[in-house]
A and B are shown apart, each in its own frame.
Chain A
């Protein structure tokens, strides 16, 4: 949001914008009281900035594309199947994988807040948490998809999953055509974050690496 960028054009480089100062004050108070360890804050931030991201989910999808037994496990018990690849923890305690088909396209949203499968996708992008997406995804998903450049045939069923409880959803996009000879790593490179939210599709082979590739783990 524009508000986040005020500091960029602030005339005094050494001054914090008012909200940055407010967060700094809060951290100072908590540290003075011994209620937080600043090194713990660093470790949390490092985890979500460099260790947990959409490359985790891409590995889950790629494995499901080449391993039918894994795909079946992912359908039946996504939490366990995903944990078998080492992706466990906060905001991934109860997972459900939803599979796109020729007939049905899945889209995930949290209309009430920002519920999102952190263990496989990292922390959510700003648009996922902001009112335009949360308000429109359940009433006009086709319009939302068009804003992402994804125009589906009118007959394609759209299934929206509103994350109103503690289940966290990931979309398993369809495997692109022409990928028969590709290995798991190459396939994972075709899986974008947006394709696992449902606002995009997996990339065709030969496409550039996804811009939202994020970080690996």
Chain B
């Protein structure tokens, strides 16, 4: 979706603000926000794609005025309510009112190290051969789906070159909406800076994205 998250090439946000000796967390609630987000992700009730879509679906005014972990928590509340684990009444009250749904698993402290070390690889088997090869010229599609997509706006309807053929990854556009993993080949696609940003672009700039096969057409 053309949401507030799709930031590539936008202007007006001011300078980057690196912080000397930045701590891992700036407040204790950020620690808990990270921990709760990962622990509830272990329920297996939603995918990383659904959680990304919940974040990008926040109102732009909320998204831009929220710190990053705040974005996470606001989206997590939506996910927990959508999947009947927690109701908005409970969030308002600050206490459990009724039991709600039961997750496939609850992450026990003794399992944390193994679960984090295992991660969640998203490569899958696909029987069809890759449609493109390194060096092929491609054009990205020009679509503006209302649902989740990982093709950023700045890289739509642009000419690029396939640099590398990657693994087959779960397709976010379907997976975010419970419509299946539908894995596809992913390619690293390179764009000349001037193709993306016009003649005023830095002539020594190349930008790449990782694009699912259905984002690409031969050029």
Q: Do these two chains really belong together in a complex?
A: yes
- Chain A interface residues (CB < 8 Å from chain B): 1, 3-5, 7, 16, 19-20, 22-30, 32-37, 39-45, 47-49, 53, 88-94, 111-114, 122-123, 125-127, 129-142, 144, 147-148, 154-167, 194, 199, 211-212, 214
A158-B204, A199-B18 provided; 14 other pairs, C-beta below 8 A? A35-B43, A37-B107, A45-B31, A47-B113, A92-B119, A112-B52, A112-B150, A112-B152, A126-B68, A134-B8, A139-B9, A141-B202, A144-B16, A147-B16
* B100 in contact with A26 (CB, 8 Å): no
Partner of B25, one of A22, A28, A49, A135: A49
Residue of A5, A29, A159 with highest tally of chain B CB at under 10 A? A29
* B39 in contact with A37 (CB, 8 Å): yes
Partner of B20, one of A19, A159, A211: A211
Provide the bound-state CA to CA distance between A7 and B67, in Å: 14
Provide the bound-state CA to CA distance between A30 and B43, in Å: 12
Chain A residue at minimum C-beta to C-beta distance from B205: A158
Partner of B35, one of A29, A42, A140, A155: A42
Contacts of A29 in B (CB 8 A): 86, 90-91, 94-96
* A93 in contact with B21 (CB, 8 Å): no
Partner of B8, one of A24, A28, A139: A139
Chain B residue at minimum C-beta to C-beta distance from A200: B18
Give the total of B residues in contact with A, Cβ under 8 Å. Answer: 96
Provide the bound-state CA to CA distance between A162 and B166, in Å: 15
* A167 in contact with B36 (CB, 8 Å): no
* B19 in contact with A126 (CB, 8 Å): yes
Give chain B nearest CB distance to A18 CB in angstroms.
10
Chain A residue at minimum C-beta to C-beta distance from B107: A40
Contacts of B169 in A (CB 8 A): 94, 165-166
Give chain A nearest CB distance to B162 CB in angstroms.
14
Question: With A37-B109, A89-B116 as given contacts, are A132 and B16 in contact (CB-CB < 8 Å)?
Answer: yes
* B152 in contact with A162 (CB, 8 Å): yes
* A36 in contact with B150 (CB, 8 Å): no
Contacts of A4 in B (CB 8 A): 26-27, 30, 67
* A40 in contact with B67 (CB, 8 Å): no
Provide the bound-state CA to CA distance between A195 and B29, in Å: 29
Provide the bound-state CA to CA distance between A131 and B5, in Å: 8
Residue of A93, A135, A148 with highest tally of chain B CB at under 10 A? A135
Per-residue CB contact flags for chain B residues 1-38 toward chain A (1 = under 8 Å, else 0) read: 00001111111011111111110111111111111101
Chain A residue at minimum C-beta to C-beta distance from B207: A160
Provide the bound-state CA to CA distance between A34 and B201, in Å: 54
* A127 in contact with B106 (CB, 8 Å): no
Give chain B nearest CB distance to A150 CB in angstroms.
11
Provide the bound-state CA to CA distance between A166 and B8, in Å: 18
* A28 in contact with B120 (CB, 8 Å): no
Partner of A157, one of B122, B155, B206: B206
* B36 in contact with A155 (CB, 8 Å): no
Partner of A22, one of B30, B73, B109, B150: B73
Give chain B nearest CB distance to A215 CB in angstroms.
8
Does B157 reach chain A (CB closer than 8 Å)?
no
Contacts of A33 in B (CB 8 A): 85-86, 96, 99-100
Provide the bound-state CA to CA distance between A74 and B153, in Å: 32
10 A-B residue contacts at CB 8 Å?
Answer: A23-B33, A29-B95, A39-B109, A41-B36, A45-B25, A89-B117, A93-B119, A112-B56, A148-B18, A214-B24
Question: With A138-B9, A157-B204 as given contacts, are A1 and B96 in contact (CB-CB < 8 Å)?
Answer: no
Does B138 reach chain A (CB closer than 8 Å)?
no
Does B208 reach chain A (CB closer than 8 Å)?
yes
* A90 in contact with B119 (CB, 8 Å): yes
Provide the bound-state CA to CA distance between A164 and B160, in Å: 15
Does B132 reach chain A (CB closer than 8 Å)?
no
Provide the bound-state CA to CA distance between A211 and B27, in Å: 20
Provide the bound-state CA to CA distance between A193 and B17, in Å: 16
Provide the bound-state CA to CA distance between A111 and B123, in Å: 22
Contacts of A126 in B (CB 8 A): 17, 19, 22, 26, 67-68
